[in-house]
Amino acid sequence: MAVKSSFPPVVDAQVRLLLLGSLPGERSLAEQRYYAHPQNQFWQLLSGVIGRDLVALAYDARLATLLQAHIGLWDVVSSARREGSLDAAIRDPIGNDVAGLVRALPHLRAIGFNGATAFRHGSAGLQSLGDAVALVPLPSSSPLHTIGVAAKQPAWNGLRRYLD
């Protein structure tokens, strides 16, 4: 089983909302881009949050637009063994230092977890934050989480309150 590794965080000192996934899937790893699979709904869901069509933008412009909106990206798993792209197939995960990154973000108000696996792996090490930073579980943007974009969007739209 191959060892897969996450990407560096996309952040700057102005980030108010940090969105954490679990570990990039095969397509994302091949393209070295967050949420590269065309059926993943991440960019569409986030477009609704910030009121900009991220799907229509080139990848670098998407990242720049997120930072302009004070949103950062990373993953909770630094590396793990995994066959394919399913979170359920993650074995022997080694976590990223999310707590260390959080300490370096002075304006951080919330951490959104893209799916149950990200929340399970990422939230445990952040309980010491207390109420200083909200921990927000979100429905996964994965197309395997089959409730559809319309059902997921209200939970994602709730992130807007942390960007004001």
List the catalytic residues: 40
The SS3 assignment for 103 reads: helix
Q: In 11-163, which ranges are continuous DSSP H helix?
A: 26-31, 42-50, 59-68, 98-103, 116-123, 149-157
Torsional sign, CA 20, 23, 26, 28: positive
Angstrom distance (rounded) from CA 54 to CA 48: 9
Sheet-wide strand order for 3-5: 3-5, 77-81, 91-95
Q: Which residue has the tokens 């949420």?
A: 35
